[in-house]
Structures are given as structure tokens and as C-alpha cells.
């Protein structure tokens, strides 16, 4: 229960803060008018050595000095500053202004021979008056900032800050202004800071995290190191894992704005923060080359990649963006999002399928399309494996229709969005995308310089409809289990914006028939990804070693068409491009006439749903296609993982398969 003095003190703080601005300024002037003469009297006392000698000069000089000082304070902006938010800059300006006036008065008194006040007392007065201003304002700031501290403990989130640097100190001060957070301590790796105080909070070494979290009942840990690398964030996450407290982070240096650090700068840790490579920045010269001032068509515009392409395109000022999708809801949602940000006159929606030659050709010819991004495709490996006729028809026929229409409409650039699963595929989805690449390569041979066709390969896209990240999030929210096909499955990952930017820059570099691949860093083990996401949620993995954990991870076995690892190149012939993180690779081609004949046969097989014939024709077209065998789809016994958790999202295969790393 609060004591009476605490209640009265809190009530006084509340009353002072609620005063109008004029009353607050009057209060500051009144206090300074009393305190500053006392400061000058103290300066005289120090100069003369006795109170009697100081009193011989009377009070008129004290009052005049105080009035001049207050005038300087007003000019320096001291009385315009809000005490609760006063900063070092305001105090420094006040001290400099006072110093200049004292110096001028000292010089004038020395030149004129003025003897009513000891000259050196003015210099002493400057030190005393400046000390008074700093101490009084900082004490008042600390006292007033504690408003709301009483009675809010149960409502505020108890927070520990990891990182006792400048960013951490600013965050702690910002949190004290908030009713939402209550910082109680720091953790930091620097030994010199251990057991010291920063921004009024004690700094502990990271090895004590679990102990301090339990003792102080900490509900959240915030990483306040904006410049932290992905490796550092993973290491911090590992240290906080056993504490079972949710971990959030301060925005990175790129995300922080001129507004500075505040509680609004706190956000959830994203998987992108933990990837083993920095985000790829677009080359601005290439980025808008095929978009700015042009008519652009995006097929599959309602999908994950297609919608992001539309967002990126609209930031570059196209003449008109045309969006094609067979899903009415997806197309409508994307359109509404873009209209809110940009003028609706530059956006036009087309409801229909990329496999409909009449629709696609009409759009390209009627609207004079300059650039096409073909993102419409079926991408979910198990679903396509179970529905091979529809999967092949959509991915292959769609590519054929778009390529033919682009050539007929004399489109300048046509870009196919492909996948790493097209390299030595074991799934129908991957094989169908490789056939789509063959179609674009054949179109490049036919069109010559008229239309530049190219393909872009990348790995799994974080947050896309087929990504494991949303699946794992749902499974964690439901309490588990998290289902993984195999403990050794690894994948390349990139963010949706990176994928869209890669596609747009690739089109700008196309010369005809190019296959572009992004340097995606190191592949990620899905098992480690799942464990890291559990730790990010502040939960503990349930295992034989920790039966009281929160979420269990189970292995369910590889599904038909799935591989343990993916590749970006069929060989080792990566060639640098104009972008340092984008490469090209050479692939075998099939002559257009022969390819047309084989695709015609494949279309007939799809129309009759002849699965054996479809697989036979796909295998004939796609070199390296190996349908999954019974041994390859060997299931792993369902059960929890037993390895100790180490949150490294990097691939570690001492004796495992060779992964082509671009």
C-alpha cells in the first residue's frame, strides 16, 4: 500500500504537469528570481571569504545580475523547453549564452574600472549559476518523469534491455515516458559495464539472464542494438532462450527515422533478421529501367510474389500497371491496397487466367504493354504432385501463352519467375517450371532482338503462401506440434521484397534467353528454423529432455517430389552480372520446332489426364528429372526432435550432400 507522502508527492507531480504553459513559465521565472541572487551571493562569499564582506555590496547588484541572467536564459530558449524532455543541447546553449555575457561584463568592468563588484566574482558566478541550472532542471526532469510510476506496476510490461549502449539508454528513457513498458535492468556483453548503472538501471552479464528474468519477473527482453548482425541476433536469441521470455528488437539503423528511438521503434523479430546474409539492396539504375513511364503487365498479380511486384512497380511511376489474376478476391484485395497508396488512374485490373490466350493477347495488344512479369503459376510441390495434369497445364501452358502473346505484341521485355526447384527436379512442379524456362528460351530464339525474354530463379520466399514460416506460426499458436518432413531438410530463403526487386532488375539486364540467379547466401536447415521460431515466441521446445516444454517438433517424412536440399545451378558456371548479388547461368535449350511438338503432346496428355504419359513426356523434356522413388520418400518415424537446441540458421553438413551455393 502506498504511504501518504508518496500519494501526496504523486498528486503534486500530476498537478504541476497539468498546469498551462504560462503558469509553468511563471513558476520557473519565480524560482530563478529567488535562486540566482543567492548564486551571486554565494560567488561573493567564495571570492571575499566572509559573509559580512559579501553583504556590504547590498542586494541591488544581486538582483541586477539575476535579471540579466534570466534575460540570457530566455534568449537561449531555457524557458521554452519542456522540463520533462529537456536535453543536453538546451542546457549547453544556456551555459554558452551565460558564459558570453559574463565574459563581456568582465571585460567592460575591467576597461571602465568599475569597482562596485569584484570582477572575479563574475567568473565564479558563471560556474555556480550554470551548475544550478543543470542540477535543478535535471532533478526536476527526473522527478516529473516519474509521474504515473505509482499504481501502474500491474499494467506495465516489465522489460529487460539487451544492449546498454546509446540506443539502449535512449530506449530506457523513452520507456519511462510510456505507461506500456517498465524497464528494470540491462544485459550487455561488455565486461566494463557489468554491475554498473546506465540510465538509472543496473547492467548484468548475459550469463545471468535466466536468473534475473525469474527474480525480476521480466516479461519481455528487447534487443537494443540497431547495428547487430544476423549472427549476433542469433547468439542473443540463444542466450535468452532458456529464460523463456519473449524477445523483441529495436528497429535496425535503416528502419530508424529522424524521429529517433521511441517505444514505437520496438518490433517483433523477423526471420529475415536471423538469416545468414544481409538484405540485398536494389541497383536503382536497373530497378526502374523496365517500369518507369511504361505499361506493365503482371500475371498472378494477386499472389505473394505478384502482389509485391505490383507494390514495387507502383513506387517507380509506371504509365499504367495492368494486373491479371483468375482469383477475384486476390485481385480485388491487391487493387484496394494499391489504390490507397497511389492514384487509381494508373492501375487497371483484368480478371482471367494466364492460360487463356485470347485474354492475354488482347491485354498486351490493346494496351501496348512494354514489360511483362509472368508470376502466375502453381508452386506447392505436394499439391501439384497429386494433381499433375492441372499443375503441368497451368505452369506450361501459361508460359507458352504469355510468351506467344508477348512476341506477337512486340513486348520489349518478358520475365518468367522460376524456382530453384527447376534444377535437377524431383517434383512435377519443379519440372514444369523448367519446361516453362525452355519455352521462354525458345521464344528468345524466335524473337531475336524484338522481345527480350529472361528467367529468374530464387529459393523459398519468406511469408509467401507456400512458405513454411506462416505454417510454423500457426502451429506454434495452436500449441503444436510443428511438423517437419525430415531433420536434414535445408532450403534457400529470401524475403518477398527481395524476390520482387530481383525480378525487376533481371529484366533490365536481359539480353535474351538469360537465366538469372540471386546469391542467396547459405541454405537454412528447416529444423533449426522451427526451433528458432519457438524460441522467438518465448516458448520452450517439448522433448524427451524437457517433457514440460510448450511446443513439440515432429518429423513426418518427405512427401512425394520433395528433396532434402535445393540447388540454384545445374552446374558450376555462374557468371557475374551488372548487379554484385545477381548471376547468370547457361542452360541447355531445345529448338523451338521440336519443343512445340513435345509441348503439344504434353497438352494432349494433360487434357486426357494420362499421368503415365505426362511423366514420360516431362522426363523426355527435362534433363535430370528423377521422379521420387520409394527409397527417396522413406518416412522418418514420427516423434519429437532429440538434438540440443543451437539457434544457428546456417547449414551444417559435415558428411552430408553437396549444396551448390551461389
Lowest mean pLDDT across 103-107, 405-409, 503-507, 612-616:
103-107
User: Fold identical between 157-269 and 284-604?
Assistant: yes
Neighbours of 571 (CB within 10 A): 11
The residue that leads in pLDDT, 209 or 650, is 209
User: What is the pLDDT at residue 442?
Assistant: 92
Asked if residues 172 and 183 have their Cβ atoms less than 8 Å apart, the reply is yes
Q: Would you call 462 helix, strand, or coil by DSSP?
A: strand
pLDDT tens for residues 94-130?
A: 778 878 877 877 777 777 766 666 767 777 888 888 8
User: What is the pLDDT at residue 650?
Assistant: 47
- C-alpha distances (whole Å) from 268 to each of 229, 248, 263, 272 are 16, 5, 12, 11
Tell me the pairing of strands 347-351 and 320-325.
Answer: parallel
pLDDT at 138 over 80: no
- Could you tell me which residues are beta bridge partners of residue 524? 491
pLDDT at 304 over 60: yes
Q: How many helices (H) and strands (E) does the chain have?
A: 23, 23
Asked if residues 496 and 311 have their Cβ atoms less than 8 Å apart, the reply is no
User: What is the pLDDT at residue 628?
Assistant: 64
pLDDT tens for residues 206-256?
A: 888 888 888 888 888 888 887 777 677 777 777 776 676 777 877 654 444
pLDDT tens for residues 498-534?
A: 778 878 887 788 788 888 887 666 677 778 778 877 8
User: What is the pLDDT at residue 36?
Assistant: 82
The residue that leads in pLDDT, 594 or 44, is 594
Domain ranges of the chain: 4-145, 157-269, 284-604
203, HSE (Cβ side, Cα atoms, 13 Å): 19
Domain 157-269: homologous superfamily in CATH: NAD(P)-binding Rossmann-like Domain (3.40.50.720)
* Average pLDDT of the chain, as a whole number: 77
User: What is the pLDDT at residue 267?
Assistant: 64
pLDDT at 593 over 70: yes
For domain 284-604, the CATH architecture is: 3-Layer(aba) Sandwich (3.40)
Q: What would the 3-class secondary structure string for 341-409 be?
A: HCCHHHEEEEECCCCCHHHHHHHHHHCCCCEEEECCCCCCHHHHHHCHHHHHHHHHHHHHHHHHHHHHC
Q: What phi-psi label fits residue 502: left (phi over 0), alpha (psi between -120 and 50 degrees) or beta?
A: alpha
The residue that leads in pLDDT, 174 or 398, is 398
As a whole-number percent, the residues of the chain with pLDDT over 90 amount to: 19
- Rounded Cα gap, residues 2 and 11, in angstroms: 12
Give, as one character, the DSSP assignment of residue 279: P
**Residue 87 confidence class, pLDDT cut points 50, 70, 90:** low
DSSP letter string, 43-71:
HHHHHHSSHHHHHTTTTHHHHHHHHHHHH
User: What is the pLDDT at residue 95?
Assistant: 79
**Residue 25 confidence class, pLDDT cut points 50, 70, 90:** confident
User: Span 184-208, mean pLDDT?
Assistant: 86
**Residue 151 confidence class, pLDDT cut points 50, 70, 90:** very low
- Rounded Cα gap, residues 408 and 364, in angstroms: 9
Lowest mean pLDDT across 312-316, 408-412, 457-461, 502-506:
457-461
Q: pTM of the full predicted structure?
A: 0.63
The residue that leads in pLDDT, 589 or 497, is 589
As a whole-number percent, the residues of the chain with pLDDT over 70 amount to: 74
User: What is the pLDDT at residue 587?
Assistant: 79
Amino acid at each position: 500500500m502506498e504511504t501518504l507522502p508518496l500519494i501526496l508527492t504523486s498528486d503534486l507531480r500530476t498537478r504541476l504537469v497539468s498546469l498551462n504553459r504560462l503558469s509553468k513559465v511563471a513558476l520557473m521565472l519565480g524560482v530563478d528570481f529567488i535562486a540566482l541572487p543567492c548564486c551571486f551571493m554565494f560567488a561573493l562569499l567564495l571570492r571575499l571569504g566572509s559573509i559580512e564582506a559579501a553583504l556590504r555590496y547590498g542586494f541591488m547588484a544581486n538582483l541586477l545580475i539575476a535579471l540579466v541572467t534570466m534575460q540570457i536564459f530566455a534568449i537561449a530558449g531555457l524557458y521554452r523547453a519542456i522540463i520533462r524532455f529537456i536535453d543536453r543541447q538546451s542546457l549547453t546553449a544556456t551555459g554558452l549564452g551565460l558564459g558570453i555575457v559574463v565574459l563581456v561584463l568582465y571585460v567592460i568592468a575591467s576597461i571602465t574600472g568599475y569597482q562596485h563588484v569584484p570582477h572575479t566574482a563574475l567568473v565564479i558566478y558563471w560556474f555556480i549559476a550554470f551548475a544550478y541550472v543543470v542540477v535543478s532542471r535535471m532533478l526536476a526532469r527526473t522527478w516529473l518523469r516519474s509521474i504515473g510510476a505509482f499504481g501502474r506496476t500491474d499494467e506495465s510490461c516489465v522489460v529487460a534491455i539487451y544492449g546498454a549502449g546509446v540506443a539502449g539508454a535512449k530506449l530506457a528513457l523513452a520507456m519511462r515516458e510510456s505507461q506500456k513498458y517498465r524497464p528494470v535492468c540491462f544485459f550487455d556483453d561488455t565486461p566494463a559495464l557489468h554491475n554498473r548503472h546506465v540510465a538509472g538501471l543496473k547492467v548484468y552479464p548475459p550469463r545471468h539472464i535466466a536468473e534475473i528474468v525469474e527474480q525480476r519477473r521480466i516479461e519481455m527482453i528487447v534487443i537494443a542494438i540497431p547495428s547487430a548482425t544476423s549472427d549476433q541476433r542469433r547468439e542473443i536469441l540463444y542466450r535468452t532462450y532458456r529464460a523463456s521470455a519473449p524477445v523483441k528488437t529495436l528497429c535496425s539503423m535503416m528502419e530508424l527515422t529522424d524521429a529517433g528511438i521511441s517505444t514505437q521503434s520496438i518490433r517483433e523479430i523477423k526471420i529475415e533478421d536471423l538469416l545468414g546474409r544481409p538484405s540485398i539492396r536494389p541497383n536503382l539504375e536497373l530497378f526502374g529501367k523496365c517500369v518507369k513511364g511504361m505499361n506493365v503487365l503482371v500475371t498472378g498479380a494477386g499472389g505473394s510474389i505478384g502482389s509485391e511486384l505490383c507494390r514495387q512497380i507502383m513506387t517507380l511511376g509506371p504509365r499504367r500497371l495492368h494486373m491479371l489474376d483468375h482469383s477475384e478476391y486476390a485481385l480485388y484485395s491487391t487493387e484496394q491496397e494499391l489504390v490507397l497508396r497511389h492514384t487509381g488512374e494508373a492501375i487497371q485490373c483484368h480478371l482471367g487466367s494466364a492460360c487463356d490466350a485470347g485474354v492475354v493477347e488482347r491485354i498486351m495488344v490493346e494496351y501496348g504493354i512494354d514489360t511483362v512479369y509472368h508470376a502466375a503459376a502453381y508452386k506447392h510441390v505436394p499439391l501439384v504432385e497429386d494433381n499433375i495434369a492441372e499443375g503441368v497445364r497451368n505452369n506450361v501452358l501459361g508460359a507458352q501463352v504469355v510468351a506467344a502473346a508477348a512476341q506477337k505484341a512486340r513486348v520489349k521485355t518478358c520475365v518468367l519467375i522460376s524456382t530453384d526447384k527447376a534444377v535437377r527436379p524431383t517434383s512435377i512442379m519443379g519440372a514444369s517450371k523448367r519446361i516453362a524456362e525452355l519455352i521462354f528460351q525458345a521464344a528468345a530464339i524466335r524473337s531475336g532482338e524484338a522481345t527480350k525474354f529472361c528467367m529468374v530463379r530464387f529459393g523459398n520466399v519468406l511469408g509467401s503462401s507456400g512458405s513454411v514460416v506462416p505454417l510454423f506460426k500457426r502451429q506454434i499458436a495452436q500449441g503444436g506440434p510443428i511438423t517437419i518432413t525430415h531433420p536434414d531438410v535445408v532450403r534457400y530463403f529470401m524475403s518477398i521484397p527481395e524476390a520482387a526487386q530481383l525480378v525487376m532488375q533481371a529484366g533490365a539486364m536481359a539480353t535474351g534467353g538469360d537465366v538469372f540467379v540471386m546469391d542467396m547466401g547459405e541454405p537454412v536447415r528447416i529444423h533449426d528454423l522451427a526451433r528458432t521460431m519457438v524460441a522467438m515466441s518465448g516458448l520452450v521446445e517439448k522433448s524427451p529432455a524437457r517433457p514440460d516444454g510448450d511446443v513439440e517438433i515432429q518429423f513426418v517424412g518427405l512427401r512425394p517430389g520433395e528433396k532434402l536440399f535445393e540447388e540454384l545451378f545445374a552446374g558450376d558456371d555462374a557468371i557475374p552480372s551488372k548487379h554484385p548479388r545477381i548471376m547468370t547461368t547457361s542452360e541447355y535449350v531445345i529448338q523451338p520446332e521440336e519443343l512445340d511438338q513435345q509441348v503439344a503432346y504434353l497438352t494432349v496428355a494433360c487434357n486426357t489426364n494420362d499421368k503415365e504419359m505426362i511423366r514420360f513426356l516431362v522426363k523426355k523434356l527435362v534433363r535430370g528429372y528423377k521422379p521420387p522413388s520409394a527409397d527417396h520418400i522413406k518416412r522418418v518415424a514420427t516423434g519429437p526432435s532429440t538434438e540440443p537446441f543451437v539457434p544457428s540458421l546456417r547449414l551444417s553438413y559435415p558428411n552430408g550432400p553437396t549444396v551448390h551455393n551461389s
